[in-house]
């Protein structure tokens, strides 16, 4: 929705009423609301008719879909359910993203973090087993090697959920997206 259309609707004006009030043709208003550039006399006349500043009418399109931060938080928290089954801590958030059509940078980051964590979890565990055999350590090391990354991932998920609530962003984020 363009800024012009939003401002027109805010004042409960039809395109015809705005055309009459501004002296601009209905067809020109339709073109501008469809995405044509607003400039010159048309810009001045429409901003005067809507009683708003010319610069504010020049803003690009208004975002049509607001982010659903509650849903984003649930997508993030869904990874906790399968924290000990690494492939599912990726699959479940992706399924929710597709089912709810919530594709944005935050949800992509959440899934990317889980993919990266799963990759490092496997490597960490395999390296730990090799080190255990080299140094002839006991079986308690296996438990520690399993629990440390799981606790770390749990911290990331909970901390990101808290940050989504407070700041509408992620606390732990990547500078890139895997998906």
* Tens digit of each residue's pLDDT (9 = 90 or more) over 36-51: 888 889 989 998 998 8
Averaged pLDDT, 126-135:
82
pLDDT at 1 over 80: no
Residue 96 near residue 102, CB atoms below 8 Å: yes
Residue 152 binned pLDDT confidence (cut-offs 50, 70, 90): very high
- C-alpha 177/C-alpha 59 separation (Å) is 29
Can you list the pairs that 162-166 forms with residues at least 24 positions away whose Cβ atoms lie under 8 Å? 164/69, 164/72, 164/73, 164/76, 164/106, 165/69, 165/73
> Which is more confidently placed, 136 or 120?
120
- C-alpha 170/C-alpha 22 separation (Å) is 45
What domains can be seen in the chain, in order of their start residue? 3-57 (1.10.260.40), 69-167 (no CATH)
pLDDT tens digits for 60-106?
Answer: 544 446 789 999 999 999 999 888 888 899 999 999 999 998 888 89
> Which is more confidently placed, 103 or 156?
156
């Amino acid at each position: 929705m363009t800024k012009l259309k939003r401002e027109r609707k805010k004042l409960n004006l039809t395109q015809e009423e705005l055309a009459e009030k501004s002296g601009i043709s209905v067809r020109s208003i339709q073109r501008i609301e469809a995405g044509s550039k607003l400039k010159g006399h048309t810009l001045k006349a429409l901003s005067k008719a809507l009683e708003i500043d010319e610069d504010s009418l020049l803003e690009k399109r208004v975002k049509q879909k607001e982010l659903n931060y509650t849903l984003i938080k649930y997508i993030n928290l869904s990874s906790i359910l399968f924290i000990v089954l690494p492939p599912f801590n990726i699959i479940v958030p992706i399924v929710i993203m597709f089912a709810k059509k919530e594709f944005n940078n935050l949800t992509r980051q959440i899934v990317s973090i889980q993919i990266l964590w799963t990759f490092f979890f496997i490597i960490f565990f395999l390296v730990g087993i090799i080190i255990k055999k080299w140094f002839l350590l006991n079986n308690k090391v296996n438990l520690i090697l399993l629990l440390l990354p799981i606790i770390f991932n749990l911290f990331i998920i909970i901390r990101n959920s808290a940050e989504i609530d407070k700041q509408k962003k992620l606390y732990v984020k990547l500078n890139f997206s895997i998906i």
